[in-house]
Amino acid sequence: MRKIKCGNLDPEYLTDTQLILDNVNRLGLNTVNVPFQVDVPSPTSNTMSLNKKRYKYSKRIVQKLHNKGIKVILEPFTYISGGEQGETAWNPRNKFVWFKNWTKICRRLVKDVAIPYQVWCFNVASGLGHMEYDKKSGTYPYTRQWHKLFSSIRRLYKGKVIYRTNYWYEDTSRDLKKNNPLWKNADFVAIDTWFELDNNASPSVDDLVADLHSTEVYNRHQNVYREIKDMAIATGKDIFFGGFGCPSLNYGAKFPWDVAISDVYNEDVQANLFQAYEKVFSNADFFLGYSVWTINSEDSYKVIGKKAETIVRNF
């Protein structure tokens, strides 16, 4: 499979379709991850609904990308309590009811968007750790429900189907993710790479390359490269960095998931992190590609017009 050079879209910045197309060209991308916002009342809700206003914007973008011959990863994008909480917080009261309701959302997106516009890949969900496994018991209570969800989509749709898991930093989560039976249903493994690498405000490329083999933060000494490679071996699947970014701020490589980690602007942190990942992973036979977070927002993750732009374009 050709390496995926993808960009994620922030669902709050979907109105300027031409800007998105221009940024795809500037970064030399061959794929775009298009979110369809799914509104969730609270972190314990079993119910959800597609956001009608942003649905129109997302569908228009898919249509434009299709017309330009650019591949699309379509994602139902979780938006909890008006965006106040991330998808990892979602812990429905009744997960069996949740799976039924979520399947309806996915099937509608497949029927109304993925099939008509020949979408390349459908991402069934992202970062729903409470549905992936039960950490206390070390078991997978929802294996059958995941299989039914994937099967329901595949009966309608002939493209790629995946799930995207969040990063990890301790052994229990690492092993539970690596050995999860749900990967048997997926065409490849997608990971959000918010790994916490370095304690310094502005680490060098060499620092970050070393960190990817032994992280500094909290003295964890996590070997990110080895653990991702082990996941590829355990699952027999290629690895895709489905959420790949770093704020252009001091300490961005310490907690890359924090868009406001510092008040000090620093393009070098962002650029050096992308370059370090490129050095460590680009030639790995299990590495399928990446999706930059994000290519349409105006926050600290933005890469357009910064030092990271050239690195992403040449990655």
Taking alpha carbons only, the member of 120, 105, 114 closest to residue 29 is 120
Q: 44-87 pLDDT, tens per residue?
A: 999 999 999 999 999 999 999 999 999 999 999 999 999 889 99
The per-residue pLDDT for 2 is 76
- Cα distance from N-terminal residue to C-terminal residue, the chain: 16
- pTM value? 0.96
What interhelical angle do 307-314 and 17-27 show, nearest 10?
A: 70
* Domain regions of the chain by residue span: 4-314
Taking the chain (315 residues) in consecutive chunks of 10 residues, what is each chunk's mean pLDDT?
A: 92 94 97 98 97 96 97 97 92 98 98 98 97 96 98 98 98 97 98 98 98 98 98 98 97 97 98 98 97 95 96 93
* Domain 4-314: assigned CATH number: 3.20.20.80
The per-residue pLDDT for 287 is 98
The per-residue pLDDT for 139 is 97
